[in-house]
Structure 1
């Protein structure tokens, strides 16, 4: 404030007053002095107001920051508590599984996990490679359609397949095979040809049974008349990944409990 007072008191230096004195003190000189003093007074007022507002706003900003810090810490505590609870539940489940002595019950659980697609599987079966015809760019009938893959998969299930995957995407009862433009999606993931369809099942009968199904006969027709590629061979050790969690979790269906 001393600086502002000094600026106001000495807003016009001595040389200016000396020149003004020689030119004579008239209305123009007095008016100029008044104008300058008015501008400086307004400037000083603005500076003071800004300083006061800053001092008033500072505590509010500090309070808001402190409140946010408290809120973040509370959220961190909640997350930590839930993570700890989840870890405890996982340990409890693991302990129950380890202490289960009923071999029949364990076998049923493992079998249901395989059927549901929630665990990876390995075993013998059939690997089928299908692809577009060589002239598919000129003749759209030579393209593999989503309905062609649906037919192929259904034929494998009908022939005794226990687990099926397309391009490493495990199929379950909740899986979808659809088209999106010119691409085919499996479980809403876009795939590109060739399509590798792997099926775990009895290697002695799976392929032969499939070729006798309507699906097998249709694919034989697609290969012979439209040039689609269809190569099938028996494999002694196939490995299929687990399905995505979204494809194994039911949200509405519940088992019907009977009275004992």
Structure 2
């Protein structure tokens, strides 16, 4: 299921280093969370390399970095892979807290073939909001392995309902079959984080109030100018 609001091009592009107008790209920090064996690492590698790596031993805890261009904006994208959350969230809550505190946007991934992975999404979302109580950090819920319909345990409507309850975007994708859908997920999240950066920048500018000039300083300047101006002598009276 693709979102109708995610049109546009996404490019992985090198950023020139010698341009005289070169500006440092903005940092975008994302974290991918979910249960084990839902395809988190495969999604990240697929997005960055266009290759589907299949089932493999995931390199959880790895931080991926890439310079990218999203709709003309140069971004320094960092994606944190995380260990799979099992039945007890508290087992990994310490390591997750550090990652959640670091990140600005989140992908919560479950497999449509594993209902228990779907059940882990709500506590993960609640943990994010606990770490960022005053934050509007964007969260996208992803139902992965959409090509394995014969083994489906989670219906599409279940994902939609959960996303609506949590106020998040939902997409059901197949990492192995559709590279564009994987790009759409990361593209949308990058754009939402960029919006937060822009809003926070506007707030900082609005909060800077010009300091009024001191009236004493103005008075001193006026007197100083008067002291430097030529004095006109009054005509003396004739005797």
Would you say same fold, with TM above 0.5?
no
TM-score class, shorter-chain normalisation, is under 0.3
Per residue, is there more helix in 1 or in 2? 1
The normalised TM-score by structure 2 is: 0.22
The normalised TM-score by structure 1 is: 0.21
